[in-house]
């Protein structure tokens, strides 16, 4: 079985800024910095799997050429979140002169991924390091939530907000990997992968790897199994049965999902929420069902028994269907 994580990194992950898809405005501004061979401290914020790390690596490759690995330090702040990690490991790299100055390298780059996991003390130590080593180092910080970064660091960085990748951008890479690795799938399968990835390219790669473990011809069922989520058509059938008042039959099918396929109540409720808006019922009934879904989702998150709560939710949907 091919190692898709390695394949993505070595064969399909962009090596140049212009190869990054879905972030055209950001790429345009970053390329201007690269052409000027000087960058400020940067803060990349956005959901996972949309190109934040790739953008940082591409900038380092274009700025430093063959010396990029020597002048680029990538660290995961969620693993090294203590104040000592900032004071010693990162500080030691930051104060060292760049390699290959004769070729134009004027500074090194430290890339801190998931920096919103840093403690407040560690962030304050990082701020002081950023202040002290501006002549030898630039920082690129990456996070999912910029609000968790202290204001003094935000004010020292130029902030770029990455958006979720568009369906057509993901579809292009899905087709590219499938063709190169000899995988067979139709348009419905590709659409299912795109929907379940929720704009995360890493998740796309992982689903392709898991789905291809059984056979090279990937089906919709394979995608939903590896994603550990309910098939939308099955959930929609359950909803339609409940709305029409056939509670017992709807409950039996729901139990088949929970027991037979091992799906969690939380995952099933999420899929129910996605399918509510396609039901052929009045808007008022849809609104009341959404309200009940929110209530029972909260109950499950608070620790209530999943099977009992799912039965109760179906009962409420049946009552709403009857009017």
Exposure letters 21-34 (e unless 16+ CB within 10 A, then b):
bbbeebbeebbebb
Alpha-helix residue ranges (DSSP H) falling in the chain: 4-7, 24-35, 52-64, 68-71, 83-84, 91-94, 120-132, 151-155, 167-181, 187-197, 201-211, 220-226, 232-243, 247-255, 265-276, 283-301, 306-322
pLDDT band for position 151 (cuts 50, 70, 90) = very high
Element housing 261 (H / E):
none
Q: Which residue in the block uniquely carries the two structure tokens 């405005």?
A: 25
Whole-number Å distance between alpha carbons of 278 and 282: 11
Taking the C-alpha atoms of residue 321 and residue 201, their distance in angstroms, rounded to an integer, is: 39
Give the integer Cα–Cα distance in Å for 232 and 129. 50
pLDDT band at 2 (very low <50, low <70, confident <90, very high): very low
> pLDDT, tens digit, for every residue of 203-245?
888 888 888 877 778 887 788 777 767 778 888 889 999 998 8
List the 137-143 sheet strands across, edge first.
72-76, 108-113, 137-143, 42-45, 158-161
pTM above 0.85, yes or no: no
Q: Which letter does DSSP use for residue 166 in this model? A: P
Please state, as a whole number, how many other Cβ atoms lie within 10 Å of the Cβ of residue 277. 10
Percent of the chain with pLDDT over 70: 90
- pLDDT(78) > 80: no
Beta bridge pairs of residue 73: 110
- Residue 129: name the closest of 77, 55, 67, 52 by CA: 77
User: Could you tell me which of 216, 149, 154, 150 has the C-alpha nearest to residue 189?
Assistant: 216
Give me the pLDDT at residue 111, please: 92
Q: Which domains, ranges and CATH numbers included, belong to the chain?
A: 23-161 (3.40.50.300), 167-226 (1.10.8.60), 232-322 (1.20.272.10)
Confidence class for position 299, pLDDT limits 50, 70, 90: very high
């Amino acid at each position: 079985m091919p190692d898709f994580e390695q394949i993505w990194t070595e064969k399909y992950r962009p090596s140049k800024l212009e190869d990054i898809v879905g972030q055209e405005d950001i790429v345009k501004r970053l390329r201007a910095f690269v052409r000027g061979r000087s960058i400020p401290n940067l803060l990349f914020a956005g959901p996972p799997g949309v190109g934040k790390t790739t953008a940082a690596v591409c900038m380092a490759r274009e700025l430093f050429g063959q010396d990029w690995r020597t002048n680029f330090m990538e660290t995961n702040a969620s693993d090294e979140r203590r104040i000592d990690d900032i004071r010693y490991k990162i500080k030691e790299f930051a104060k060292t002169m760049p390699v290959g100055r004769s070729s134009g390298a004027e500074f090194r780059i430290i890339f801190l991924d998931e920096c919103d996991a840093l403690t407040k003390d560690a962030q304050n130590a990082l701020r002081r390091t950023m202040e002290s080593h501006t002549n030898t180092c630039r920082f690129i910080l990456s996070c999912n939530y910029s609000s968790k970064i202290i204001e003094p660091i935000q004010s020292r960085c130029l902030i770029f907000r990455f958006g979720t990748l568009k369906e057509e951008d993901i579809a292009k890479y899905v087709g590219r990997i499938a063709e190169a690795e000899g995988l067979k799938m139709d348009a419905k399968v590709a659409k299912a992968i795109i929907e379940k990835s929720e704009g995360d390219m890493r998740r796309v790669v992982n689903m392709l790897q898991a789905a291809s473990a059984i056979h090279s011809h990937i089906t919709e069922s394979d995608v939903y199994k590896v994603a550990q989520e309910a098939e939308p058509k099955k959930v929609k059938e359950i909803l339609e049965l409940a709305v029409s008042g056939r509670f017992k039959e709807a409950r039996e099918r729901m139990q088949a999902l929970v027991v037979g396929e091992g799906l969690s109540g939380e995952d099933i409720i999420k899929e129910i929420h996605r399918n509510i808006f396609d039901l052929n019922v009045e808007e008022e009934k849809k609104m009341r069902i959404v309200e009940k879904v929110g209530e029972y989702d909260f109950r499950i998150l608070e620790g209530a028994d999943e099977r009992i709560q799912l039965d109760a939710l179906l009962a409420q949907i049946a009552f709403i269907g009857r009017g």
